[in-house]
């Protein structure tokens, strides 16, 4: 059963909040590679931090909006029919600011309720076991005890930003030069249930870029994930040709171009005051 928090009829649609994971999974699987983050968020560890709105026409879901809890602006994922997305954003899921991920054709539905900041298109890339091409290199699997060293590479300024649990629950690989960690890649979300994972946090120290190190660590992470995942995906900015080329060397292919934008609720006092904040390095490719 769908747990009803809000039900409001708009233009023939009924908008409801739900915790029905079977319903959500069935809808998201219609666009599995684009909905990879959301499908992974259905797992127990992430689901408690998420809020889901669904628009129904009759008994059929036509749109889904996912709000992921956390510091403002939080991630917001939208998928489905434009009128359904608009109805959910109007009456149910209403953050003052968010980082929205959406197919380009849904921007008008979002702009009915939000001011959308400019930004380059994003590319969702994907790979499976048949497409994957290993990139042999001397890399190492990172462990939670190395989180401080990893955070120093990411130049976060404090070791606790990326928690040790991110390494314990995900997959991280690093590459060393003369004992120093100079390149690393990891995961944003992993779901053994959905057999999906999202690669991210790919970074190479500036003085070591252009040597294939980011390709090597990304390849190692991907190889490990494909042991239990059917597909692995990642995001990259469309204006980052070196990163796109590096991922293609591993067998990744473009699936879709989409929008990942900072949005501000129309009429909100916070509009224009929030600073960009993303899941760390989600759109930053190998450097």
- The secondary structure of 145-171 as a DSSP string is GGHHHHHHHTT-SSTTSS-HHHHHHS-
User: What does each C-alpha distance from 113 to 87, 121, 212 come to in angstroms?
Assistant: 10, 21, 43
- Over residues 26-50, the mean pLDDT reads 97
Q: Domain end: 116, 143, 163, which one?
A: 116
pLDDT at 286: 52
Confidence of residue 70 (pLDDT cuts 50, 70, 90): confident
Residue 185, judged by CB atoms within 10 A of its CB (0-12, 13-18, 19+), counts as buried
- Could you tell me what percent of the chain has a pLDDT over 90? 84
Q: When comparing pLDDT for 112 and 8, which is higher?
A: 112
Residue 145 in domain: yes
Number of domains in the chain: 2
Task: Give the CATH number for residue 25.
Answer: 3.40.630.30
Burial 16-54 (b: 16+ CB within 10 A, else e): bbbeeeebbbebbeebbebbbbbbbbbbeebeeebbbbb
Residues 162 and 169 sit within 8 Å (Cβ to Cβ) = no
Distance CA 197, CA 190 (A): 4
Q: Say whether both 74 and 147 belong to one domain.
A: no
C-alpha radius of gyration, the chain, whole number: 19
Q: Say whether both 143 and 43 belong to one domain.
A: no
Q: Say whether both 232 and 131 belong to one domain.
A: yes
pLDDT at 76: 97
Q: Say whether both 96 and 180 belong to one domain.
A: no
Half-sphere exposure of 2 (CA within 13 A, CB side): 19
Q: What angle do CA 104, 106, 111 make, to 5 degrees?
A: 105
Task: Write the pLDDT tens digit of every residue in 168-210.
Answer: 999 999 999 999 999 999 999 999 999 999 999 999 999 999 9
pLDDT at 155: 86
Q: Which of 58-72, 111-125, 131-145, 222-236 has the lowest mean pLDDT?
A: 58-72
Which range of residues forms the domain containing residue 176? 126-256
Q: Say whether both 141 and 159 belong to one domain.
A: yes
On average, the pLDDT of the chain sits at 90
Confidence of residue 269 (pLDDT cuts 50, 70, 90): low
């Amino acid at each position: 059963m769908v747990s009803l928090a809000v039900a409001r009829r708009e233009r023939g649609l009924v908008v409801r909040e739900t915790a029905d994971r079977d319903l959500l999974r069935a809808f998201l699987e219609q666009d599995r590679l684009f909905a990879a983050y959301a499908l992974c968020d259905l797992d127990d560890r992430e689901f408690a931090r998420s809020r889901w709105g669904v628009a129904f026409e009759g008994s059929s879901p036509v749109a889904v909006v996912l709000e992921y809890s956390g510091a403002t602006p939080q991630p917001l994922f939208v998928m489905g029919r434009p009128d359904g997305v608009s109805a959910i954003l109007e009456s149910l899921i209403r953050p003052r600011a968010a980082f929205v991920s959406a197919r380009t054709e849904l921007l008008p539905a979002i702009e009915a309720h939000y001011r959308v900041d400019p930004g380059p298109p994003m590319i969702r890339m994907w790979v499976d076991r048949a497409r994957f091409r290993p990139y042999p290199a001397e890399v190492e699997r990172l462990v939670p005890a190395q989180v401080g060293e990893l955070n120093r590479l990411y130049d976060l300024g404090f070791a606790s930003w990326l928690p040790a649990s991110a390494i314990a629950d995900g997959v991280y690989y690093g590459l060393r030069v003369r004992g120093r960690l100079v390149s690393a890649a990891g995961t944003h979300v992993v779901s053994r249930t959905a057999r999906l994972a999202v690669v991210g946090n790919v970074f190479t120290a500036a003085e070591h870029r252009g040597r294939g190190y980011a390709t090597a660590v990304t390849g190692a992470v991907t190889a490990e994930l494909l042991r239990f995942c059917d597909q692995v995906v990642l995001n990259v900015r469309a204006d980052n040709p070196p990163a796109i080329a590096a991922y293609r060397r591993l067998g990744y292919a473009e699936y879709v171009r989409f929008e990942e934008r900072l949005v501000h609720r129309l009429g909100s006092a916070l509009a224009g005051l929030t600073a960009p904040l993303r899941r760390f390095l989600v759109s930053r490719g190998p450097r």
